[in-house]
């Protein structure tokens, strides 16, 4: 998708669906954001830009970790998710003080030059239509020596949480056209060499890309079928189910529930995955 399509997607029905499920997603992804925070060693940052902040859970995590001297600006294109973020910040007593949010496209928004000493993102930078241009834009927003730290998914084949429901769905649905290499989406930066070249091309130094194993624990109740439906309706299979015949959709749900039943324990479907933890610096 190009940037205009991304804005339509994240501000339409899909964006509202993510907003409605933000508490579950925040709980599931919090360990990854925490691991990135530890890996990046961001102590001392005081002016932080959180790109693709979504419902704001990691924005508040950053503010808490860095302490009262730090301010964090979360930026996202999704109005529904930002509404969740602002409510979360108000509930935490952080709104308008150390934490603020901006509805904007970080790839081309004109930030004040050299206004941040850390750029942080948990799965928020893989959707840029023109990644190099986007990182050039973000580069100018950072002060010299500022750190960049983000997480992104390794290839689909390394992420059973995505592969297993997809295999189940393709028992009943035609396979989608394969996207162009590095197309915007969850796996845009799956190729570490490509990611390194994008960042170096934008001017970043000391690019480091570290492999990191994760567990995706889906679920908010003790029902396997409900959890499987939630997973399919939020993950990569969700677009295949758009405008799908109801009978076929039920067949996909049934196949996925059966495939994931061995991975269901303590009320959650727990499936392995793999991410890259990426860090770099502005020269």
Q: Is the pLDDT of residue 92 over 70?
A: yes
pLDDT digits (tens, 9 = 90+) for 226-272: 999 988 988 889 888 988 899 999 999 999 999 999 999 999 999 99
Q: How many CA atoms lie within 13 A of 189 on its CB side?
A: 28
Q: For residue 107, give both structure tokens.
A: 């790839």
Q: Given pLDDT bands bounded at 50, 70 and 90, which one contains residue 219?
A: confident
pLDDT at 200 (0 to 100): 98
Burial environment of residue 266 by CB neighbours within 10 A (0 to 12, 13 to 18, 19 or more): exposed
Q: What is the mean pLDDT of residues 92-96?
A: 80
Nearest to 198 by CA among 210, 211, 189: 189
Cα 149 from Cα 276, distance rounded (Å): 10
Q: For residue 61, give both structure tokens.
A: 């995590």
pLDDT digits (tens, 9 = 90+) for 57-89: 999 999 999 999 999 999 999 999 999 999 999
- Check if the beta carbon of residue 77 is closer than 8 Å to that of residue 105: yes
Dihedral angle sign, alpha carbons of residues 105, 234, 99, 39: negative
Q: For residue 46, give both structure tokens.
A: 């005081």
Cα 118 from Cα 50, distance rounded (Å): 8
Q: Given pLDDT bands bounded at 50, 70 and 90, which one contains residue 2?
A: low
Cα 30 from Cα 146, distance rounded (Å): 24
Burial environment of residue 182 by CB neighbours within 10 A (0 to 12, 13 to 18, 19 or more): middle
| pTM over the 0.75 mark | yes
pLDDT digits (tens, 9 = 90+) for 40-56: 999 899 999 999 999 99
pLDDT at 1 (0 to 100): 53
Q: What is the CATH number of domain 3-156+180-218+273-282?
A: 3.40.50.150
- Check if the beta carbon of residue 146 is closer than 8 Å to that of residue 118: yes
pLDDT at 239 (0 to 100): 84
Sorted by where each begins, the domain ranges of the chain are 3-156+180-218+273-282
């Amino acid at each position: 998708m190009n940037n205009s399509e991304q804005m339509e997607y994240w501000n339409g029905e899909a964006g509202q669906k993510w907003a409605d499920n933000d508490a579950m997603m925040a709980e599931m992804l919090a360990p990854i954001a925490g691991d990135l925070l530890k890996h990046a060693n961001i102590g001392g940052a005081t002016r932080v830009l959180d790109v693709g902040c979504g419902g704001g859970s990691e924005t508040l995590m950053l503010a808490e970790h860095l302490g009262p001297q730090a301010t964090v600006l979360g930026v996202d294109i999704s109005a529904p998710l930002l509404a969740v973020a602002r409510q979360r910040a108000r509930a935490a007593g952080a709104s308008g003080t150390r934490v603020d949010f901006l509805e904007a496209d970080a790839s081309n928004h004109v930030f004040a030059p050299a206004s941040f000493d850390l750029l942080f993102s948990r799965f928020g930078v893989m959707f840029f239509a023109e990644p190099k241009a986007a990182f050039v834009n973000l580069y100018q927003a950072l002060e010299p020596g500022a750190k960049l730290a983000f997480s992104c998914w390794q290839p689909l084949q390394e992420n059973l949480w995505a592969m297993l429901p997809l295999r189940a769905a393709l028992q009943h649905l035609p396979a989608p056209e394969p996207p162009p290499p590095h197309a915007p989406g969850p796996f845009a930066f799956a190729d570490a060499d490509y990611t390194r070249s994008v960042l170096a091309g934008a001017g970043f130094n000391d690019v480091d890309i570290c492999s990191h194993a994760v567990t995706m624990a889906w679920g908010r109740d003790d029902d396997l079928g409900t959890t499987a439906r939630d997973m399919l309706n939020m993950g990569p299979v969700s677009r295949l189910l758009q405008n799908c015949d109801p009978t076929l959709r039920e067949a996909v749900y049934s196949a996925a529930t059966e495939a994931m039943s061995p991975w269901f324990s303590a009320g959650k479907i727990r499936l392995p995955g793999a991410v890259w933890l990426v860090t770099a610096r502005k020269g």
